[in-house]
Structure formats: structure tokens, C-alpha cells
Chains A and B, each alone.
Chain A
Amino acid sequence: MELMNEIKIKSKNLNVYYGEKQALFDVNLDLNEKEVTALIGPSGCGKSTFIRCINRMNDVIDICKVSGNIEIDGVEINDKNLDVVSLRERVGMVFQKPNPFPKSIYDNISYGPKIHGKGETKSELDEIVENSLKKAALWEEVKDRLDEPGTGLSGGQQQRLCIARAISVNPEVILMDEPCSALDPIATAKIEELIDELKKTYTIVIVTHSMAQAVRVSQKTGFFHLGKLIEVGKTEKIFKNPDNKMTQDYITGRFG
């Protein structure tokens, strides 16, 4: 049996409220380094809310209140004094719908490094852009048209561009919020291949509605229901022999 990697992210008694409504209830979840953790569960169960706590994207929503702890490498990040900019430099995110900036492919990738002061010179930036695109398996397709708008790419290419954009600032963690839900099966397969490759370097958390995808890409799976983490464990175990009846019902398609 393969050894579990070290714990990278640890949430303790995480509660999230949207105004009056509570979205997460006492979530305790450990995410391992250089592994893919899949979060599954029916719509509105709090999976996305959970990953948005890891890079503090919930700060953008005025009515959202987060209590409890999230630690990355043992350092508390749910702290008012923490600089979210440097947190988000460490924790990248890819969204459900590809959202490239309406700028050139090159500018899409170079924006992050530029604002963080990485890549002082043009050649350094060129290198970052090339490496990021290569890691996102997009380089071969776009190397001759880096100055064309990123919005002109196909959906799957746009999503890989967004992954390249997340990689460009050299994060430790990449959060993916249903990255394939807007893509066709071929583009999805490419992204999944990519995720497999990326997990060698990055800790990845992926929210997905596709059980098959969770099985294919992840080593660990957490099942959420109505804001509660029902069960978490090795992906194989969750899908073959879950402890909880509700997990069993969800993965066999009896509800969801």
C-alpha cells in the first residue's frame, strides 16, 4: 500500500455563513501534498465554498463570514492580518467557466508574474510564459500566436490557458472548481491528463460533479452533503466500499 503524503492543508471546524444561511458546518478536512483531492457532492453542498476558503476568494463576497481554522503548512490563513495577495500567489485557482482576460495569450500568462515582480526582464517573462504553457500542455498549439487574444481559443484551450495562468506564478496549491463542466469529453480528457501530470509538482484540489472524473484523477475524495463533510478517504475506498450509507447512495446514483 502506497504511503500517504504529508498534510499540506488542514481545515479545523470550518464554518461558513452567507448572511443568515450557514453553508459549511464544522468541516475538518486534511489535504495531502502533491496529491489530487476530489470533492464530490450534490449541487449547493458547499464544495465550492470550501475550496474558495483556501485562497480566501470568499472575501470578495460581502455577506460571507468564515469562522474556524485553515492551515497551510501549519500556518493559519483565516486571519485578518494575512496578506491575501501573497496567499493567492501560493494558492492558484481555476474556475468552472474558462475566464481568460480579454488580452493576448502572452499577456494572460505574464500578468501574474508581472504583478508579483517575477520576471524582471522580457526574456525571463518569455521563459515563464513558455514554461507555463508547456506545463499546461498548450504550448504546441499556441506558440505561433501568442499575441492573439486568449478569448479566441476554443473552450478547452481557454481552460488550459487559465491553468497556465495559475501555474505562471509558481503556486504550491491549485484549486479547480469544476474545471471541465463546460468542456466536451475530448477537452476533458486532456485536462485530466494534465492534472495527472501537475500533481507531481502541485497540491491539487478539484471540485467535480463527475464521479468518473473523481475516480480517474484523484487519490483522495471527500463527499459533501448539505454543508457537511460526510466522508473522506482514499478514492478507491470511497467508491468501492464507503462507510456511510449516504455516500453509498450518492455514488451509486440513488440521489444527487
Chain B
Amino acid sequence: MTKEERLKKRHSAEKRFRFYGLASIFVALLFVLILVHNIFSKGSSAFMKTAINVEVFFDQELLEIKNDASDDEILEADFFDITIESLIKVYPAKNVEEEDAIIELFTTDAEIEIKRAFLENNNLIGKKINLEITASDDIDQLHKGNYPRDIPEDRRRISDFQLVIYDNLVENQKIVKNFNNYFFKNGDSRDPELAGIGGALIGSFYSIIICLLLAFPVAVLASIYLEEFAPKNKITDFIEININNLAAVPSIVYGLLALQILLATIQLPRSTPLVAGITLALMTLPRIIIPCRASLKAVPPSIREGALAVGASKFQSVFHHVVPLALPGTLSGTIIGLAQALGETAPLILIGMVAFVVDIPSTPIDPSSSLPVQVYLWSESAERGFVEKTSATIMMLLSFLIVMNFLAVYLRQKFEKRWN
């Protein structure tokens, strides 16, 4: 081979490699794009809810309370009759079946929504007000265009009569789209229009805080001891290998461990953020120790020697010089570990967080859900309303993860100090 040929071959090899590299990046980006597009197109509609404008007349004859009733009295009172009377007026019904069909257009919580309006203003008896009552899931999905209306009636959840009412309501501009506050405020529900991630958000928040409080100090102290103080011998080698092994253990195994030890033996309350936090802390511990040790290792030995040479003790050289320099790496490693923990599902399913929890947890020892488990739960539901809610929950989860990862990068860049 001549020199020119060799040179040509070398250049073409480089060109080929560049092409392969670009192609891989392109394929990866394409998949990310498809994923994001899929989630957004399905999930973005969940942030709005459909409501129907209803005229409510607070008829004294249908209510057992009077104006200026106390909150307790209102909560006790029965608003069922007034709810039915108000709802069926949105369209003239000929018989009881048709009345039932009209009522089905609304959420089952219509009574509560009317009661809430009365709670805000307990002086409404004898007055008429317009309320935007949340529509049922079927109308919600139909209005958002997620539900086909051109299929035979017996395969539809909405009857022809209901479609006529719906079209009439649309024509009279009685149907509105509002911000879906239920999605952020409410706990889980069997009715998609009422289901929200409020409980899951709080549950995830408590779990991650407990995970952070347990895992961060333990991981940092363990890393500092192992990296700076522990003698280098077979035992520390063994510990190091096993920390790496633990980081690779499938998370479901930690769930089994928690099930046996935390729930069965110690008898901590099931389905609670407390147990979830402890389980996630166990799982996250080695995942924080590894980057933490790496950033301690990255501090040049000359800094330690410099400190020792002016008479700093080992402890002083570590805590005055090495740890501050390793802190940015430690913090970003911790945040990335927590981000992983936030998205973890399998161990939480095993400790019972998969339970159907309607109430918003007020303490870490109340039963609760968490964001990834909520995704899992809703993804198994048949109703169309849960499809968009699944995607919207994923959007929330992903945005938390992205924020955390940005925070990690930001902290590292902001506090990283340069040494020669």
C-alpha cells in the first residue's frame, strides 16, 4: 500500500466513525422526541377539566338549613335534592330515565361542589347563582376530543340522547374548560374527573425528605471514613466491593427486604411514606457513597499534604480542606441519587404503597401513594380519563427529575473550585 492509500484509508475510517457517532445521537434524540411527544400529546389535556354551567336555585323547601347556618350545619346538611333539581334543568327531560341520563353528565361530586359554593357564602337561600359543575369523565373526554362519537351507540359509553344534550349545551355555550385544580389537589379516586396527584405529591415529598435525611449523612460520613481514615486492607476492600454490588442490586430486592424487616418484624405502618423513605434510603445509600467517594478521591493529595505539612491534624486536613473541595461533587451525586429514588416504583409497590388511597396524607405515617406508583396504578385503569392522567403524572415526575438534575449541574458548576 502506498502512502497516499494509507492516508486515504485513515481519513475514511475517521469519516465513517463520525457518521456512526452522529447517527447514534440522532437515533437517541429521535426516541426521546417520540417519548416526549407521546407523553405531551396524551397528557397535556389533563391539566384542563370540562365543566357545565348550571343555574342553581337554593330553594328553602329543598334544604333543611337556613341562611347564616354554621359550617358544621352545612356540612351535615343534605344537598341531594337541590343538586338533582338544579342539574336536570340543563335540558328538558321527558321521563325519569332521561333525567338519570342528564345527571350522568355530571360528576358524582356535583352535590359537594354545590355545597362548597354554599359554604363560601351561607346567605344564598332564595337566590339563584350560576355554578360551573365539573362534567363526568365521559363528557370531559368527549369534549377534549379523546372519545370517538361516530361509533354505534351500544359500543359507546354516551347514549345518543346524551350526545344531543351535549351538542345543545355546546351550542348554548354552557360548556367551559377550566384549569384542573382537582388534578393537583385531590387524592386518588375511582372517578377520573376527580382523581388527582395531590396525595401522591405529598407522599413522594415525604418519602424523599426521609430518604435524604437518612441517606445523606450516613453516606457522606461513610464515604469520608472509607476514603480518608480507614486503613487500606482486605476488610475495606471487601466493603468497597460490596458497596458497588449494593448499588447494582435491583430495587425490588430492597422492597422485599423492607417488607420482611420494616413491615413484618418491626411492624411499621404499611403503605406509608416513612417506610418508603427508609426503603429508598437503603437503596440510595450506595448510590450516594460512590459519587461521594469519587469526588473525595478527586481532591489532589497535594492539598492534603499541604495541610498536614503546616501541622493540621488528619481530621483538620480532611474537614478544612478535602471535604469543602469535594462538596459540589457530593451534593450533585446526592441529588442524582434522590432523583433516582423519586422515580423508583418496584420497592414501593412491595411495601403497600400501591393501595388505593383517597385521603391526602398529613403526616409521614399516614397511608399514601407516590408519583411513580400513581403512574403504575392509573396505567392499569380502563377509563380514558386515566390515560391522560397517567401521562400528566409522568410529565410532573419528569419535570421534577429535570429540575433536580439541573440543580445538580448548577451546584457543581457554581461551587466547584479549581486547583492547578
> Which A residues have a C-beta under 8 Å from some C-beta of B?
55, 57, 60, 62, 85-86, 88-89, 92-93, 95, 97-102, 111-112, 115-116, 151, 158, 162, 165-166, 168-169
A100:B231 contact, CB within 8 angstroms: no
Q: Give 12 new A-B contacts, CB below 8 A, not counting A88-B308, A95-B305, A165-B306.
A: A57-B305, A62-B231, A85-B312, A92-B309, A92-B310, A97-B420, A99-B303, A100-B306, A101-B321, A112-B310, A115-B316, A168-B310
B309:A166 contact, CB within 8 angstroms: yes
Which residues in B have their C-beta under 8 angstroms from that of A158? 420
Interface residues of B in 282-337 (CB under 8 A from A): 300, 302-313, 316, 320-321, 325
Which residues in A have their C-beta under 8 angstroms from that of B420? 97-99, 151, 158
Q: How far is the CA of A102 from the CA of B325 in the complex (A)?
A: 8
Q: How far is the CA of A93 from the CA of B321 in the complex (A)?
A: 17
Q: Which residue of A89, A162, A169 contacts B306 across the interface (Cβ within 8 Å)?
A: A162
A57:B316 contact, CB within 8 angstroms: no
Interface string of B382-420 (1 = CB under 8 A from A): 000000000000000000000000000000000001111
Q: How far is the CA of A158 from the CA of B306 in the complex (A)?
A: 12
**For the complex, is B232 an interface residue (Cβ under 8 Å from A)?**
yes
Q: How far is the CA of A111 from the CA of B308 in the complex (A)?
A: 11
Which residues in A have their C-beta under 8 angstroms from that of B320? 111, 115
A101:B307 contact, CB within 8 angstroms: yes
A99:B306 contact, CB within 8 angstroms: yes
Which residues in B have their C-beta under 8 angstroms from that of A100? 306
Ordered by A's residue number, 29 sampled pairs between the chains whose C-beta atoms are within 8 Å are A57-B305, A57-B308, A60-B304, A60-B305, A60-B308, A85-B313, A88-B311, A89-B310, A89-B311, A92-B309, A93-B309, A95-B302, A95-B305, A95-B306, A95-B309, A99-B306, A100-B306, A101-B306, A101-B321, A102-B303, A102-B325, A111-B307, A111-B320, A115-B310, A115-B311, A165-B306, A165-B310, A166-B310, A168-B310
Q: Which residue of B300, B312, B419 contacts A115 across the interface (Cβ within 8 Å)?
A: B312
Which residues in A have their C-beta under 8 angstroms from that of B308? 57, 60, 88
Which residues in B have their C-beta under 8 angstroms from that of A57? 305, 308-309
Q: Which residue of A60, A85, A95 contacts B311 across the interface (Cβ within 8 Å)?
A: A85
Which residues in B have their C-beta under 8 angstroms from that of A85? 311-313
Q: How far is the CA of A86 from the CA of B321 in the complex (A)?
A: 19
Q: How far is the CA of A158 from the CA of B30 in the complex (A)?
A: 50
Which residues in B have their C-beta under 8 angstroms from that of A98? 420
Which residues in B have their C-beta under 8 angstroms from that of A168? 310
> Which B residues have a C-beta under 8 Å from some C-beta of A?
231-232, 300, 302-313, 316, 320-321, 325, 417-420
Which residues in A have their C-beta under 8 angstroms from that of B419? 102, 151
- Separation in Å of the A154 CB from the closest CB of chain B? 11
Q: How far is the CA of A153 from the CA of B231 in the complex (A)?
A: 36
Which residues in B have their C-beta under 8 angstroms from that of A102? 303, 325, 417-419
Q: How far is the CA of A112 from the CA of B309 in the complex (A)?
A: 9
9 interchain residue pairs of minimum CB distance: A112-B310, A99-B302, A93-B309, A89-B311, A88-B311, A102-B417, A99-B306, A102-B419, A85-B311
Question: Which has the most chain A C-beta neighbours within 10 Å: B309, B320, B325, B420?
Answer: B309
Which residues in B have their C-beta under 8 angstroms from that of A95? 302, 305-306, 309
With A62-B231, A115-B316, A151-B418 already in contact, the answer to whether A97 and B311 are too (CB < 8 A) is: no
- Separation in Å of the B311 CB from the closest CB of chain A? 4
Which residues in A have their C-beta under 8 angstroms from that of B305? 57, 60, 93, 95, 99
Closest to A102 in B: B417
Question: Which has the most chain A C-beta neighbours within 10 Å: B303, B304, B418, B420?
Answer: B420
Closest to A86 in B: B311
Q: How far is the CA of A91 from the CA of B3 in the complex (A)?
A: 62
- Separation in Å of the B342 CB from the closest CB of chain A? 33
Question: Which has the most chain A C-beta neighbours within 10 Å: B305, B310, B311, B316?
Answer: B310
Which residues in A have their C-beta under 8 angstroms from that of B316? 115
Which residues in A have their C-beta under 8 angstroms from that of B307? 101, 111
Q: How far is the CA of A57 from the CA of B306 in the complex (A)?
A: 10
- Separation in Å of the B209 CB from the closest CB of chain A? 32
Q: How far is the CA of A93 from the CA of B305 in the complex (A)?
A: 9
Q: How far is the CA of A255 from the CA of B311 in the complex (A)?
A: 38
Closest to A93 in B: B309
Q: How far is the CA of A89 from the CA of B270 in the complex (A)?
A: 58
Q: How far is the CA of A112 from the CA of B308 in the complex (A)?
A: 10
- Separation in Å of the B403 CB from the closest CB of chain A? 29
- Separation in Å of the B155 CB from the closest CB of chain A? 71
Q: How far is the CA of A60 from the CA of B231 in the complex (A)?
A: 11
Q: How far is the CA of A115 from the CA of B318 in the complex (A)?
A: 13
B303:A88 contact, CB within 8 angstroms: no
Q: How far is the CA of A126 from the CA of B418 in the complex (A)?
A: 26
Closest to B419 in A: A102
- Separation in Å of the B230 CB from the closest CB of chain A? 10
Q: How far is the CA of A30 from the CA of B322 in the complex (A)?
A: 36
- Separation in Å of the B324 CB from the closest CB of chain A? 9
Q: How far is the CA of A205 from the CA of B383 in the complex (A)?
A: 83
Q: How far is the CA of A88 from the CA of B231 in the complex (A)?
A: 22
With A62-B231, A151-B420 already in contact, the answer to whether A116 and B303 are too (CB < 8 A) is: no
- Separation in Å of the B335 CB from the closest CB of chain A? 23
- Separation in Å of the B1 CB from the closest CB of chain A? 43
Q: How far is the CA of A92 from the CA of B312 in the complex (A)?
A: 11
Closest to B321 in A: A101
